[in-house]
Amino acid sequence: MLLCSLCTPATEAFACKHKSAAMQSASVSKENRAVRTGKHTVYKPGKKKNKKKQGKELTAIKDSMLTVAVAAKIATKTVDKRDIDAELLSWLTFMEPERETPNEGSVKGCVSLNGNDVLNEKHPYDNMNREVCAKIGATIRNLCEQAGTTITGVHVTGYSAPAGSVQKSEKAAAQRLLNLKDELRRSRATGKASLEAGWTSEDWDSLAVLVRQSDMPLHEAVNGIIQNTDPVAGREQTIARLAGGVPYAYMKERLYPKVERIEYSIDYRCEQRSNKQSGVSCEGGITLASLCATANGYAKDSKEFADLMDLSARLFPNSVEANINAGAVALLHKDTTRARKYMEKYATAGKALGNMGVLCLMEGNPEKAELYLDMAAAAGSAQAKKALNFLRKK
C-alpha cells in the first residue's frame, strides 16, 4: 500500500506506539509464565523495597533487644557486686582470740602406809600427816618461786581400808581427818590458799582393783563378794570366812597398806603480765590477743588492719583464730586464693564454716557455699543467716 508523505509520520508513530505496547505486553506475559513454571521469582519493585525495609527494621529490633538484654545483665551483675561489697563485712566472722589465760594446773601427790618406815612407827598415821604437810609446803614454795604464781586451792583426801564394822571404820576415819586438819593448820603448809579436806572410811573401789591385779588365792571369789555384798551387810566378814580366812589374811597384809593413804592436789595459776600498749609480754614475746587488739583499732577495710591480721597468721601459724581472721581479710580484698590458703585446713572447724561459705560464694560455687552456710547458721551464726538470705533471693 502506498502512503502519502503527509500520513507517513503519523502511521509510523502509531505503529511505534503499538509496537512498544506489544513488547511490554509480551514481557509481562513472559514474566507471568516464568512465575507459573517456577523457573525464577520476580518481585515487583514496590514489594522488593518493602522487604528491604522490613529487614532493616527487624535488624534494628534485634539489636535493640540485645542491647537491652546486655544492659540488664550488666545492671544485675553490678547490683550483685554492690550488694556483696556492702554486706561482706557483716557476713564475715572475725574471731576474737581467747584472752591470754594464765597457765593453770595442779600438782598431785600421795603418801601411803605401804612404806616399811611408816608401818614400823608407833603412830603411823601421825607420821603420814607430817609427811603430807611437808610435801605440800615444799611444793607450794617451789611453785611460788615463779613470778605471778598464785595457789588457788589445796585438796586433801584420806582413804582407809575396812576395819571391822562400818560404824567402826567411819569413827576411825573421822578421827584421822581431824588429826590431819590440825597438822595442816599447825604447819601452815597451805598458806593463804583455800583448803578442802575429807576422808573415805572404806575404800572398797581401790581394794577391788588391787584384788583383780593380785595373785592372791581365790581372788575371783573375793571380787564376787565385793561386787554382790553390801558393806553394811557384812562384806568384810564374809571375805574373812572364805577358805578359812586365807584370802583375807593376804588382803590385810599386802593390800590394806596400799589402800591406806592420803592424796593431795595443789591447784595454781601463773599469770603473764603484759604491756597492753606495746602488746609485748613480760617475757618479751608478742601475743596474738595484743595483735588483734591493735588491729581492731583500725577500720576492717584498712591496710593497717589487713597487715596486722596477716602478721598474726604468720606469727601464730597453728592458731585457728589467726588463720580465720587472715582469710577473712583476704576475702575483703577479693583475694580468694589467699583466703583459701589460710582457711582450707580449718574448713570443717565450727569457727570457720561461715567464712568458708562466703569464700565458696565468691569462687562461684553457690551449692557448696550454701552447705557451709547452712552448717554455720545451724551453729547460731547470724552472719551466715544473712549470707543465706542473700544467696536464696538470687
Question: pLDDT tens-digit profile of 250-265?
Answer: 999 999 999 999 999 9
Question: Considering the chain, what percentage of its residues have pLDDT values greater than 90?
Answer: 28
Are the beta carbons of 113 and 260 closer than 8 angstroms?
Answer: yes
Q: For the chain, what are the domain ranges?
A: 103-270, 285-393
CATH code matching the domain that covers 103-270, chosen among 3.40.50.880, 3.30.360.10, 3.90.950.10, 3.30.1330.60: 3.30.1330.60
Q: Which residue has the cell 593413804?
A: 261
CATH code, 285-393: 1.25.40.10
pLDDT of 239 reads 94
Same topology, domains 103-270 and 285-393? Answer is no
- Say how far apart CA 294 and CA 308 lie, in whole Å: 8
Q: What is the mean pLDDT of residues 314-333?
A: 88
- Using left for φ > 0, alpha for ψ between -120 and 50, and beta otherwise, residue 164 falls in left
- Say how far apart CA 148 and CA 102 lie, in whole Å: 9
Q: What is the mean pLDDT of residues 202-217?
A: 93
**Global pTM?**
0.47
